[in-house]
Amino acid sequence: MAIIFFNDNSIEVPENSSIIEACEQLGISFGCMNGFCRTCEAYILEGYENLSPLTEKESMLKDNEGLLCQCTVNKGLIRIKQKYLN
């Protein structure tokens, strides 16, 4: 199992789970879910090494940032803070 801490919430998910699916379980919704609108852009505060490799759509982001619709959590713990709150 992996644990995702998102803003002030946390959720335990199976390894290799989509972060966007976990956020939806917490009642957090996003825009296009294809990496274009960037409403799901987030700071990865902890556990960056536990995420899937960056996609091409994430290549222009700064270090320790990601697009939640593009990420899966491979294992362990990650701590995320959304850049643009809905």
Task: Report helix, strand or coil for 48.
Answer: helix
| Alpha carbon distance 10, 74 (integer Å) | 16
User: Collapsing DSSP states into helix, strand and coil, what is residue 55?
Assistant: coil
The model carries a pTM of: 0.84
Q: pLDDT tens, position by position, for the chain (86 residues)?
A: 899 998 788 999 999 988 888 888 887 778 888 988 888 899 999 999 999 998 999 988 998 999 999 999 999 999 999 887 65
| Domains defined for the chain, CATH in brackets | 2-82 (3.10.20.30)
Q: Is 56 helix (H, G, I), strand (E, B) or coil?
A: helix
Q: Which two tokens stand for residue 54?
A: 């960056």
**What is the 3-state secondary structure of 57-84?**
HHCCCCCCEEEHHHCEECCEEEEEEECC
